[in-house]
């Protein structure tokens, strides 16, 4: 039908007009959507900028908080270590610290010195003996203090006494106890008939190392007690109850549950105690000074003797450096053995 047939008052629109309106409405909708996406994009940019500012502020705060620890680490550990290694390459005298660069000569002289190897062997004996005894005694006492009995709190407090006493007081007391003339140890052994004459415990080559090991055991075993006892108190009792229901005896409970739960703690204890006892200087130095006849001369005392006795800073630094490298090697092997056992 043509347009000429349209009646007056007919309000119907031509289809092309409808098409234009549809296009216009779609264009308006697309424009609104585009505007909405643009607003969202701008809002996202503003939010991302705000997040970046917050992250930057958090990172800055983290750096500020960790900076004191970093300064202490560098000043008290990293710098002294680097300086000792640096000094080991010089022939330096304590009274003439500028010295002469000699490269590896201090190390070559050290490795040709039989006294160095003897001191290394004594250090291994000293550290191995004290750490083994501390671990066994400390674990046994921790197991005892974990039980319920009257006065347990008092006993737990008293067991820390050796660890809290200053080392100078400990060594003076034990020196008096080891005395040939009026020492209580010789007195008691004579009274019970175990010895016929007083023994010079600290002055005899045969007994000096065992005597200082005993002092090291008494002084430091409470550390093992504290750590092991803390772990024992966190072992779930459900494990023991379930094992008892299955018919496990006391020995099975101890080996399969208690020791298994203590394994990681004992690993850390042995690691720390080995490092500390290998580097320990004050116990042996205050008791024997490395004597008699160098029977207790360990590497820390040899460092002191070379540095402040012979005034040889370079050789003393070389000994200290080899001690550090030896500990790194031993601890690396120790970690690998432990990981291998965990994998099995």
List the domain boundaries for the chain.
Answer: 112-343
Q: How many angstroms separate the CA atoms of 43 and 50, rounded?
A: 10
**Secondary structure class of 172 (helix, strand, coil):** helix
> Is the pLDDT score of 5 beyond 50?
no
Q: Where are the alpha helices (DSSP H) in 146-258?
A: 152-158, 161-164, 167-177, 184-192, 208-232, 237-245, 250-253
Query: Taking 70 as the threshold, does the pLDDT of residue 130 lie above it?
Result: yes
Closest CA to 175 of 206, 200, 209: 200
Cβ–Cβ < 8 Å for 106, 91: yes
Is pLDDT larger for residue 153 or for residue 10? 153
Q: 3-state class of 281 per DSSP?
A: coil
CA distance 83 to 309: 20
State the sign of the Cα–Cα–Cα–Cα dihedral 98, 103, 107, 109: negative
| Mean pLDDT for the stretch of residues 324-343 | 86
At 344, list the tokens.
């099995």
Q: pLDDT for 243-256, tens place per residue? A: 888 888 889 889 88
For residues 222 and 161, give the distance between their C-alpha atoms in angstroms, rounded to a whole number.
8
SS3 state of residue 100: strand
- Cis peptide bond N-terminal to 292, omega within 30: yes
Cα-to-chain-centroid distance, residue 8: 101
Give the list of residues 6+ apart from residue 99 with CB closer than 8 angstroms, or none. Answer: 87, 90, 91, 92, 93, 313, 314
Phi, psi of 81 (to 5 degrees): -65, -45
Residue 289 CB contacts under 8 Å (≥ 6 apart), including other chains: 301
What is the mean pLDDT of the segment spanning 165-172? Answer: 96
- Per-residue pLDDT reduced to its tens digit, 285-303: 999 999 999 999 999 999 9
Residue 175 CA: distances (Å) to CA of 183, 201, 213, 239: 8, 9, 13, 47
Instruction: Give the H or E element holding residue 332.
Output: helix 313-343
Of 255, 267, 261, the closest CA to residue 237 belongs to 261
Is the pLDDT at 47 greater than 60? The verdict is no
Q: Collapse the DSSP code of 288 into the 3-class scheme (helix H, G, I; strand E, B; otherwise coil) and give the result.
A: coil
Average pLDDT of the chain, as a whole number: 85
Residue 4 predicted with pLDDT over 50: no
The predicted model gives 109-134 an average pLDDT of 96
Helix (H, G, I), strand (E, B) or coil at 246: coil
> 3-class DSSP state for residue 312?
strand
**No. of helices (H) and no. of strands (E), the chain:** 15, 2
Q: What is the pLDDT of residues 146-162, one digit of tens each?
A: 998 999 999 999 999 99
Report yes or no on whether pTM surpasses 0.85: no
Query: What is the average pLDDT across 299-313?
Result: 94
111-115, 134-138, 254-258, 326-330: range with lowest mean pLDDT:
254-258
DSSP 77-111: IIHHHHHHHHHTTEEEETTEEEEEE-TTHHHHHHH
Residue 191 has pLDDT above 90, yes or no: yes
* Domain 112-343: CATH architecture, name and number where available: Orthogonal Bundle (1.10)
Distance CA 280, CA 273 (A): 10
Give the CA angle between residues 249, 251, 253 to the nearest 5°.
70
């Amino acid at each position: 039908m043509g347009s000429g047939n349209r009646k007056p008052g007919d309000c119907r629109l031509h289809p092309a007009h409808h098409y234009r309106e549809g296009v216009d409405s779609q264009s308006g909708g697309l424009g609104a959507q585009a505007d909405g996406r643009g607003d969202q994009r701008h809002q996202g940019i503003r939010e991302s900028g705000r997040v970046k500012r917050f992250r930057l502020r958090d990172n800055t705060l983290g750096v500020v908080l960790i900076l004191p620890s970093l300064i202490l680490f560098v000043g008290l550990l990293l710098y002294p270590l680097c300086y000792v290694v640096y000094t080991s390459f010089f022939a330096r005298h304590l009274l003439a610290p500028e010295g002469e660069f000699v490269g590896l000569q201090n190390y070559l002289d050290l490795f040709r010195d039989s006294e160095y190897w003897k001191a290394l062997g004594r250090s291994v004996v000293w550290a191995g003996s004290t750490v083994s005894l501390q671990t066994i005694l400390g674990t046994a006492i921790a197991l005892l203090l974990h039980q319920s009995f009257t006065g347990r709190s008092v006993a737990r407090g008293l067991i820390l006494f050796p660890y809290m006493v200053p080392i100078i007081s400990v060594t003076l007391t034990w020196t008096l106890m080891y005395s040939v003339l009026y020492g209580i140890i010789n007195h008691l052994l004579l009274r019970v008939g175990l010895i016929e004459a007083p023994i010079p415990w600290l002055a005899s080559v045969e007994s000096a190392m065992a005597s200082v090991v005993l002092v090291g055991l008494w002084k430091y075993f409470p550390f093992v007690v504290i750590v092991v006892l803390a772990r024992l108190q966190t072992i779930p009792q459900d494990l023991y109850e379930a094992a008892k229901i299955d018919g496990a005896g006391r020995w099975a409970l101890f080996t399969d549950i208690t020791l298994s739960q203590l394994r990681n703690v004992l690993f850390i204890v042995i690691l720390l105690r080995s490092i500390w006892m290998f580097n320990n200087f004050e116990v042996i130095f205050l008791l024997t000074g490395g004597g008699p006849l160098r029977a207790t001369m360990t590497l820390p005392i040899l460092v002191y003797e070379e540095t402040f006795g012979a005034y040889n800073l370079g050789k003393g630094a070389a000994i200290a450096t080899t001690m550090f490298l030896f500990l790194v090697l031993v601890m690396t092997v120790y970690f690998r053995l432990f990981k291998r056992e965990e994998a099995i």
